[in-house]
Each structure stands twice: as structure tokens, then as C-alpha cells.
Chain A
Amino acid sequence: MKSEYDVLIIGGGPGGALAAKTCAEKGLSVCIVEKRPAIGTPVRCAEGIGEDLIGEFFDKIDPKWISAKIKGAKLISPDGSSFYLNPEMAGNEVGYVLDRKFFDRDLVWQAVEAGAECYVKARAVDAILENGVVKGAVIEHFGILKDVRASIVIAADGVESKFAKYCGIDTTVPLRELETCAQYLMTDIDIEPGITAFYVGREICPEGYIWIFPKGDRTANVGIGISGTQSKDGSRAKDYLDKFVSRNFPEGKIIELIVGGVSVCEPLECTVADNLIIVGDAARLSDPITGGGIYNAMYTGRLAGQVAAESIRSGDCSKKALMKYETTWRSSKMGKALDRNYQIKEIFVKLSDKQLDSILTSVSNIVMKDFSTLTLIKEIIKLNPKLIKELSGLRKYFE
């Protein structure tokens, strides 16, 4: 590890990897520090991603990244009735369940191939600050502390998001907006191949949802997220999951336990500072409705790399120069979806099971033009004009 780089990246998840790859391709000297001993493990994810979203980054999808191809989704309402969401082009792929152990590793591998350096067991323990401005990070690498300076630091340290804290930016997620999650990788269970299933309802998963994401033949990620404020002794995420599993898959075998937190709050007020860019989960950019954040991390990672390269070339890495990153993602499709989905989430978490039942009944027969939460929400709002007064307040987001 050198003591100086153009760009230092904290965290080797999808956000950090795309940032590093982009910087390296633009000819910058760049280094990723990842505190874990291995990239991509343990997995903290249900691994679902839309086909169009992942397609934005690659001409060719490596088959080993994909555990299962997804052709449709099924929603199960609190009263137990279920509905299929069928894409207009039935039979086509709408998404994938990834194998992130391979996927995340390959993303970093691509960055390294492009010329980035990567160190594992290398943890940022503090920021180097001069007159309140970030100049690099103190890295603990196999127990040895080292100052690493950089023109720009990209904080891609995921849900923990401590690096920005070291720089004086409050990244704390409010308890009610942290979905606390537990997931089993299960085998020997009866699932519908190619169909992702989503269960909602206050009784089985308050202010969250249960998912079944197929990983292959008779095997799936079965998980739950509930709001932090709903989590108490005896009714934690794992307790709800165990209840669900014993009711639905009593014979299933659990071969992996995954736990984690997903933020469903608004993004950080500002995701740049002098010499600092914050990307992905660290910037609180996971989707407030679905909790999905792989794409958002990759998108903002790549954008951060582009803006970093421009700023370094022009010799100005001030907050003002880096604001281009902030304004670009906020006005992007992703940024607008985050804003809209946050407002929608705020309404949905308050719905009773009865209201959820009737909403889901209303969309039971729709055929979706394109397969996305956005299209689904649009339909819900169209079909339930009077059902919930508040929903009409959302109309402006769709005009």
C-alpha cells in the first residue's frame, strides 16, 4: 500500500468496486481498502436485481453471477390471497437472483484488472483531517496503522457508514427507518421456479415484508425485514422468520443464516464535502420501498469515479466541484425514484392489513408494461383513487 493515491476508496462492495474501476480506467491511481478478509462474504443480501438495471453496466452477464433467472413475481396479502404480477412479455426474464459471492468478487477483480489496487483486512479507522478538510484515511492493515493520503476519498463503506462520521457528517439511521433483517438460505423446499414471492402484513412482518427469492431448484433465500421500532425481545426479525418458516417450510433445511440492516430513510442531506464523495448504502441510497441497493451503489459508484476524475484533472476537488455528483444523481431516474418511493413508503407503513388486502385485490389482474415497483405503484394509485386519501397526494410524483 502506498502512502498517497489520487483516489482512496473505503469499502469493496459494489459501490466501491465500480468507483475504483471507473477511476482506474480514467488513468487515476486508486486504492480500495476492504476491512473484511474476503470480498463478497458474508453476503448481506437477498440478491435480487432487475434485468434492465444490471444490463446498464455489462454487455455480457457472466453466468456464474446468476443463481436464478426471474420471470415474474407473486404478492401475498395479509388475508392469504395471492396475485401474480405478470410482465407484458410473459416468459421473458425480468430479473435475476445473483450469487453475490461471485458477483462482488468479480466487480473488484474488474477494478483491479483496470489498474486499481485492493487490500483486504484493511480498515479505515479514522479520517486524516486538516482544517476540517479530508486529506485521506488512517488504515489499519493487519494490525499496522498507516496514513494514506488522497486527493479524493470515496466513502463506500455500506450500511455502517462510519467514514463519513469521522469526517463530521452524521449518517446515523433513525431506528424506525432501519429495516432489521434475517434470512435463511433454504433447500429442499417447494417453491415456484422463476417467481419471486413477497408477503406483506402487520401480523407476519410489521412495516416490512417477507421475501422468497429462488436460488435454484428447490432452494431459495427466505427472509424478512421489519422496522427497527417493531423489533423487541421475542419479536425480532429472526423470531418472525422462524414463525414463517415453521408454518410454510417445516421440512426445509437451513444452510445459511444471513442478518443485516437496510436503511429506508431519505438520502444524506448532502453526499459530498471537500475531497469527499459518499456512495451507495453509506449515503443511505437503498430504495425505501424494496430495500434494494445493489444498482444504486453501482450507479453512484461509477458516477463518483467519473466526477472524481474530472475534478482531479481540473485540479479542483472542493465541495463545490464535487457537487456535480450530488446534483447528477438527485436528478437521475434513480434519484427521483428514491424521493418518490420515500413518500410512498411513509404512507404504506401506516396501512392496516385490511387496507393492504383491498389494495392488493385491486391490482390482482394487472399486466405490467414494464416490470418495476414504480409501475406497480402507479397502477395501485390509479386503481384506488379514493381508497386512501393520502395516496392522492402522491399523484404529483407521476405527472
Chain B
Amino acid sequence: MIKVRREVCGYCGACVSVCPEGAIELIDAYLSVDNENCKLCKICVRVCPLGALEVSDEE
């Protein structure tokens, strides 16, 4: 699953604009990933200017 490192995220929405599944939502300073719709393409992980997203094995 995609994990948001909240201590790093700058809540800019860049990842939202490239997610082909529309699986990312930004509410104020809170970014969340709908891991049910995520296809793990990792495009969001690539694009983040800060490196705030990572793939994690945790469920």
C-alpha cells in the first residue's frame, strides 16, 4: 500500500493530479490514499517534490 509520511508532506496536491485512479484526496493539510482503488503504479511516489510517499508492506 501507499503510505503518506505526514511529517514530510507539504500538502500541495501534485500527486493528486497525476494519479490515474483518482485514489488520492487532499483535505487541507491531510493527504489520504484510497488503497482499495490504488493500483500501486507508484507515479505519485515519483512525482512528490519532497519524497513524502512510499510503498509499504503494512496492511
A binding-site residues for B, Cβ under 8 Å: 35-37, 42, 44, 123, 158-162, 165, 171-175, 178, 180-182, 228-229, 231-233, 236-238, 257-261, 263
Contacts and interface: CB of A to CB of B under 8 A. Distances in A.
A158 to B, nearest CB: 7
Given A37-B28, A172-B18, 19 more contacts: A35-B27, A42-B11, A159-B17, A162-B25, A165-B22, A172-B22, A180-B14, A181-B14, A182-B50, A228-B43, A229-B46, A232-B46, A236-B49, A257-B10, A259-B10, A259-B14, A259-B49, A260-B13, A261-B17
Contact of B49 (A36, A161, A182): A182
A259 B19 contact: no
Nearest to A234: B51
Interface in B1-58: 10-20, 22, 25-28, 43, 46-51
Nearest to A170: B20
Contact of B46 (A36, A165, A228, A259): A228
Contacts of A180: 14, 47-49
B51 A233 contact: yes
Contacts of A172: 17-20, 22
A260 B11 CA distance: 8
Q: Interface of chain A, helix or strand or loop or mixed?
A: mixed
Nearest to A123: B27
Contacts of A260: 12-14, 49
Interface residues of B, number: 23
Contacts of B10: 257-259
Given A160-B26, A175-B46, A228 B13 contact: no
20 contacts: A123-B27, A178-B14, A178-B47, A181-B14, A182-B49, A182-B50, A228-B47, A231-B49, A233-B51, A236-B49, A236-B50, A238-B51, A259-B10, A259-B49, A259-B50, A260-B13, A260-B49, A261-B17, A261-B47, A263-B17
A232 B47 CA distance: 8
A160 B13 contact: yes
B46 A161 contact: no
Contacts, number: 88
Contacts of A37: 28
A261 B12 CA distance: 7
A180 B18 CA distance: 11
A123 B22 CA distance: 16
B49 A237 contact: yes
Given A36-B28, A175-B43, A162 B50 contact: no
Which among A158, A160, A165, A181 has the greatest number of chain B C-beta atoms within 10 A?
A160
B30 to A, nearest CB: 11
A261 B22 contact: no
A258 to B, nearest CB: 8
Contacts of B49: 180-182, 231, 236-238, 259-261
A27 B34 CA distance: 41
A258 B42 CA distance: 23
Given A123-B27, A161-B17, A238 B47 contact: no
A14 to B, nearest CB: 16
A42 B26 CA distance: 13
A261 B14 contact: yes
Given A37-B28, A123-B27, A175-B43, A159 B51 contact: no
